[in-house]
Amino acid sequence: MDSVNTKPTTQCHVVAMPYPGRGHINPLMNLCKILASKSKEILITFVVTEEWLGFIGSDPRPDNIRFGSIPNVIPSELVRAADNNSFFEATMTKLEAPFVKLLDQLKPPVTVIIHDTVLFWVVGIGNRRNIPVASFWPMSASIYTTFHHRAVEISGSKCFILGVGTGRAVQVWGVGRLHPHVTMPLPSAAKWIKPSQGVFKTNMDAAFGSSYSVIAAVARDWRGTVVLAQSLKVNTSIPLQAEATTLVWAFNLAVAVGFECVIF
């Protein structure tokens, strides 16, 4: 861990724990740089694996941001695309213990922990140690909406979640596999709902990988109610191609479920 022996005058010690991926580390680091710019009395310890410390350890950063490293207990970033499910499983089961050990070594005492929302186990650590925990969502609002409504149960005639494209895509995103004992299955009584009037607004997004992408579409009716939330794994890693596929897929999806007037 770099700068472990530095003793800056600090009134607030923030520990930042990102999900170990470029699209998660960069946004959280940007947030930390903003926080660090507010006051020199804010000390931030940014936690990464030893491998990631080698990737970004020399990047420019404010003096009041230091790195805290934990052992490489998860698959390498260089090969994780070969089995993303196993990589995700490792982040859920193998990162917690070394993270706790690192917390025990940090000085001054930790004031607050900011963690990537995907790493839900950080909340339990904060609760056990009486440390406030803030959850950071690094992805787009439309993907958050898909995650959120994926777990919503049907209540009466209101059905917010209507299905997902493929079970594999759900596993890739971690939905329904956040913990071996926690699942969020789609209720068997789910059905499509078509409001009787107005216009549908569809938001789309794509998450790009090295060998495939995951696309998502969320539709709201004229009252703002979510009436569709679907995701799909597609075999392309080219951003422009994935975005074009998202548009065509969302259009066909709207037609398939009987939407008569849609704004994309």
Per-residue pLDDT of the chain (264 residues; tens, 9 = 90+): 554 444 555 689 999 999 999 889 999 999 999 999 999 999 999 999 999 999 999 999 999 999 999 999 999 998 887 877 788 889 989 999 999 999 999 999 999 999 998 898 999 999 999 999 999 988 876 666 655 554 443 333 332 332 333 332 222 222 222 333 333 333 333 333 344 445 566 666 777 677 777 777 777 766 667 777 777 788 877 766 776 777 777 777 766 766 655 544
pLDDT at position 147: 57
Residue with tokens 């936690």: 47
Instruction: Return d(Cα 246, Cα 231) in angstroms, integer.
Output: 10
At how many degrees (to 10) do helices 121-129 and 96-105 cross?
Answer: 30
Residues 6+ apart with CB under 8 A from 24: 18, 116, 118, 138
89-92: which pairs have CB atoms within 8 A and are 24 or more residues apart?
89/177, 91/19, 91/20, 91/118, 91/119, 92/119, 92/121, 92/178, 92/179
The per-residue pLDDT for 142 is 63
Residues annotated catalytic, as ranges: 24, 116
pLDDT at site 111: 95
- Give the pLDDT confidence score for residue 199 in this predicted structure: 54
Domain topology for 12-136: Rossmann fold (3.40.50)
Distance CA 254, CA 195 (A): 13
- Are the CB atoms for 225 and 199 separated by under 8 Å? no
Domain ranges of the chain: 12-136, 141-263
Please state, as a whole number, how many other Cβ atoms lie within 10 Å of the Cβ of residue 6: 12
Report phi then psi at 246, rounded to 5.
Answer: -60, -45
Sign of CA dihedral 102, 57, 120, 39: positive
Give residue 133's pLDDT. 94
pLDDT at 178: 30
Residue keyed to tokens 């990737």: 55
